[in-house]
Amino acid sequence: MTFFDTLFPDVRTTRPSIAIVTHAVPGTDDFIHDIQKKFRIACFIPKPNSIHAATLRRIESCTPVLCYTRHMIQDNHETFAQKIEDMTGGESLAVMDTGGYFCPLLHTLRRRLGRRFLGVVEDTENGHQRYETLVRGAKGENIPCPIVSAARSPLKAPEDHLVGQAIAFSADALLRECGQIMAGKLACVFGYGKIGSSLAENLRQRGALMTVIDINPARQALALAHGYKCPRHSEHLEESQLIFSATGCRALRRRDLQRLRPGCYIFTATSGDDEIEDYRDLLGDCAPTNHPKISALGNKRSVFICNNGNSANFMHGGVVGPFIKLVQAELVYAAATIAGFKTGRITEVDHEIRCMIAQRWLDFYAHP
């Protein structure tokens, strides 16, 4: 019996086919295998910057795979929607999204599938922000399906805490491979949310001298209460030796990058195009260095961008163990019951359901 077997008996639904966008990292193949026992997977769309080749091969052996980037979907959404329609086999469809991939497709899929397109469940903060922008622009009108978000769920907090820990580990490991150590370096974290706060604490434990920047004054005040320096945005750029961006909303602006001190390393907590303004143009102007995970940035060849601007923890697998199953369970539950959620705004799974998932997780993993 798997953890998901303890959850599914409570899901009263017709169990739609599911399209999944997520990272093809070790453990994702087990997740696909587990939910295939109860649901038909219409297709799997791997996020392109976190593909573990052996894992993707195992997924391809049992699940249709579509290798589309978010930009490819935006530029070819009719073609992509046709492929999705073909893969549903006439069944209803729910989407489990990671990063807002399906944001431009809602009306197209509703036109093609009609009421068989049930809606979208989003996993991440940057995806949540993309759907939030869509809903706000429509003023709640003409949103053709439910949008359910787990991005701010308390069940995601353990995963986010461990992601912050993993980014600090990977950054420290990369510096050591370059003959440097983190202790004593001036580091700045953009964003003091769940990942950013964990990241700042773990960097401080490794000896970095920390500052924190957040555009939300309440979170900036919290960072100050936790003992971090909190300068104005313009006051830290010339001094920081390490920059960590954990916002999901392009906190690193191109003009900011021109002001960084020589020898500065840039790490991100999500995809590069979610953290760095004009990321693709900037990446095209990067030069290789002696380390395969480090590129020299733009005209300032002494400023370095790590892991091609993508989440630093994926340099070492990005694995957070069974804790990821908490939010995976919420995503599956929401997808399975999505027909019961309202349209016109972003909604969330009820508190009671989250408590049920957490208790069953504890019973399975902590109190076997």
Same domain, yes or no: 94 and 230: no
Q: How far is CA 364 from the centre of its chain?
A: 26
Give pLDDT, residue 140.
61
Check residue 190 and give its pLDDT: 93
Least confident range from 132-146, 317-331, 350-364: namely: 132-146
Q: Check whether residue 280 and residue 356 sit in a common domain.
A: no
What CATH number corresponds to the domain at position 247?
3.40.50.720
pLDDT at 234: 62
Per the prediction, the chain carries an average pLDDT of 90
Distances (CA, A) of 48 to 98, 132, 168: 12, 24, 22
Global pTM value: 0.89
Examine the domain organization and report whether 90 and 219 are in the same domain.
Answer: no
157-170 pLDDT, tens digit each = 999 999 999 999 99
* Residues 164 and 151 reside in one and the same domain: no
Which pLDDT band, with edges at 50, 70 and 90, does 286 fall under?
A: confident
Is the pLDDT at 280 greater than 90, yes or no? Answer: no
By percentage, how much of the chain surpasses pLDDT 70? 95
Look at residues 221, 275, 231 and name the one whose alpha carbon lies nearest to residue 250.
275
Statement: residue 107 has pLDDT above 70:
yes
Whether residue 190 sits in one domain with residue 149: no
Minimum mean pLDDT range among 180-194, 308-322, 330-344? 308-322
Tell me: do 27 and 129 sit in the same domain: yes
pLDDT tens digit sequence for 225-240: 999 999 876 667 788 9
CB 122 within 8 A of CB 148: yes
Domain count, the chain: 2
CATH number of the domain within which 136 lies = 3.40.50.1480
Q: Which residues pair with 118 in a beta bridge?
A: none
More confident: 272 or 351: 351
Say yes or no: 105 and 224 in one domain: no
Cα atoms in the Cβ-side hemisphere of radius 13 Å centred on 349 = 33
- Selection from 73, 74, 120 nearest residue 97 by Cα: 120
Interval 128-143: pLDDT, tens: 999 999 998 877 678 9
Note the pLDDT of residue 133. Answer: 92
Do residue 102 and residue 185 come from a single domain? no
12 — pLDDT class (breaks 50, 70, 90): low
Q: Does pLDDT of 303 surpass 60?
A: yes
> Which of 316, 334, 352 delimits the end of a domain?
316
Range of the structural domain that residue 275 is part of? 160-316
Neighbouring residues of 131: CB distance < 8 A, sequence distance ≥ 6: 100, 103, 120, 122, 147, 149, 346
